[in-house]
Amino acid sequence: MAEVVVSSKYQIVIPAEVRKSLSIKKGQKLQLIVENGVIRLIPSKPLSEMRGFFRGMDISIERDEEEPF
């Protein structure tokens, strides 16, 4: 497990092995989520990289007869 230190300006440095394993690049945005005292950093991906992300997903769903669509 990697360990980081919070600087006097409340900044952290993501260790190189973590950056490489997640392909985090300079200037990339991360989403920060706090859940039950745990901080999660999730790399944001540009929409262009998400193309085909749901390919092969089953989109047939059963709808209630009350739904207008």
Q: Is residue 55 part of a domain?
A: no
Q: Residue 27 is part of which domain span?
A: 19-50
Q: Is residue 43 part of a domain?
A: yes
Q: How many domains does the chain have?
A: 1
Q: What is the largest CA-CA distance in the chain?
A: 59
Q: Is residue 12 part of a domain?
A: no
Rounded Cα gap, residues 59 and 56, in angstroms: 9
Which has the higher per-residue pLDDT, 69 or 39? 39
Tokens representing 11 are 């900044």
Q: Is residue 42 part of a domain?
A: yes
Q: Is residue 5 part of a domain?
A: no
Q: Is residue 29 part of a domain?
A: yes
Q: Read off the pLDDT of residues 6-59 as tens digits, 9 standing for 90 and up.
A: 999 999 999 999 999 988 989 999 999 999 999 999 888 777 777 777 788 777
Q: Would you say the pTM of this structure is higher than 0.75?
A: no
pLDDT confidence tier of residue 65, bands split at 50, 70 and 90: confident
